[in-house]
Amino acid sequence: MITDHISNATLYFGLGERIKTALQYLSETDFSKVESGEYALDGKNVYAMVVECTTKSLDESLLEAHKNYIDIHFMIEGEECIGYEWLNNQEISEPYHEKEDYWLFIGNPDMIRYTKGMFAIMYPQDLHMPKVISGKSMPIRKVVVKVKV
């Protein structure tokens, strides 16, 4: 997993053209003018989901992973914690859902606090637990960009 502030996005352009496309979109878009929804940046190779939700407790959360996509989470408004743990024989909570490209795990992740302007790049081996409260439950607005491996 890579975590940083969007002001440093250019440091990661060398990770591949699809990741560069995603990070350019995140750094150049005025999300105050973008409604919630899904946006194709390069068909199904790179697409963004602008979401609004409320953070939840650690007890209500599970770790997730993907096989076919890298996730890039970007915080627009609010604050959340994202749990992180390396995929390494954790107990499976739900088997792999091929159509939606995810499966869920039980684990004890390290928590990283994300505030406005921060992003995280999660590869298939990176279990992650998004939308966890940071202090108290709150509404958040974020973007999740899916980058085909």
**Cα dihedral 8, 112, 50, 92 sign:** positive
pLDDT of residue 36: 98
Q: For residue 123, what pLDDT is reported?
A: 98
Sorted by where each starts, the structural domains of the chain and their CATH numbers stand as: 2-148 (2.60.120.370)
What pLDDT, on the 0 to 100 scale, is given for residue 48? 98
Looking at residue 79, its pLDDT comes to: 97
pLDDT in tens, the chain (149 residues): 999 999 999 999 999 999 999 999 999 999 999 999 999 999 999 999 999 999 999 999 999 999 999 999 999 999 999 999 999 999 999 999 999 999 999 999 999 999 999 999 999 999 999 999 998 999 999 999 999 99
Whole-angstrom Cα distance, residue 132 to residue 78?
Answer: 12
Measure CA 25 to chain center: 15
What pLDDT sits at residue 53? 97
**pLDDT for the residue numbered 129:** 97
